[in-house]
Amino acid sequence: MRKNLIVGNWKMHGSHAANAELLAGITAARPFGCDVAVCVPFPYLSEAAVALAGSDVRWGAQDCSAHAQGAYTGEVSVGMLSEFGCRYVIVGHSERRQYHAESDQLVADKAKAALAKGITPIVCVGETLAQREAGETEAVVKRQLSAVIHTLAHCAGEMVVAYEPVWAIGTGKVATPEQAQAVHALLRAQLKAATPHADAMQILYGGSMKPDNAVSLLAQADIDGGLIGGAALKAPDFVAICRAAG
């Protein structure tokens, strides 16, 4: 039986005051019957670690470098993240693929670098609206996941996968539970062909998940939690989703 995982992706939002209020609202609502994490902007990682110390709410980053160290201005290595006790890192979010031209192989290399430092990569895959309308959803998500599976090899079972249809991210257009489950089942089958741990792996759905649609999405057989953007910035909404997943 897989435990659900709910991850808040704060994106480029936050301030000392807003973060403190949000984290206090989340920790005060514990315990949750699921795994919970927040992925915060780099400058706030250490204050999140302090605010969450002693609680079972985990924290992570939203990106990392594929390189261990060196002349890569502006990048943050997984070694640096692990020094703070970072648990998760999101890699391959569609906003990084789109705005930073991240390739499937770069995403895979980042996932590999994270695992090498004991950080669980949350690997995002998902199709654009044009790709869905062209009937390319399966080919796109399989291609994206395949690069990671091949690069991680025998460690593939240690990642978390997030299916995030690009057309549903931040748009309020949520995939129906049936649409999401169909893709999750494909991803699970692909993982099964690659690792004996596929049945235990968490595959999250992301894309306008809110308190009012979380229950029906999370009821699907292969949906094991959510990667939450907008609703992760309001403690009552994020807590409601965590409760739905518990």
**In which element (H, E) is residue 7 found?**
strand 5-9
- Residue 195 burial (10 A CB sphere; 0-12, 13-18, 19+): buried
Span between the terminal Cα atoms of the chain, in Å = 13
Residue 164 designated active-site: yes
Alpha-carbon distance of 219 to 205, in angstroms, equals 12
- Give, as ranges, the residues between 7 and 46 that touch ligand PEP (CB under 6 A): 9, 11
CB-wise, 81 or 126, nearer to ligand PEP?
126
Residue closer to ligand PEP by CB (options 11, 97) is 11
Q: Which of these ranges, 36-44, 56-64, 131-139, 223-231, lies near ligand PEP under the rule CB under 6 A?
A: 223-231
72: nearest Cα among 80, 60, 82: 80
For residue 16, indicate whether it is catalytic. no
Q: Does 209 bind ligand PEP (CB under 6 A)?
A: yes
Catalytic position from the list 95, 102, 127, 164: 164
Site for ligand PEP contains 207 (CB under 6 A)? yes
> Is residue 228 within the footprint of ligand PEP (CB under 6 A)?
yes
Residue 165: asked if its preceding bond is cis (omega within 30°), the reply is no
CB of 13 to ligand PEP, least distance (A): 11
Helix (H) / strand (E) containing 120: strand 120-125
Q: Which position among 13, 93, 154, 184 bears the catalytic label?
A: 93
Residues that bind ligand PEP (CB under 6 A): 9, 11, 164, 169-170, 206-209, 227-231
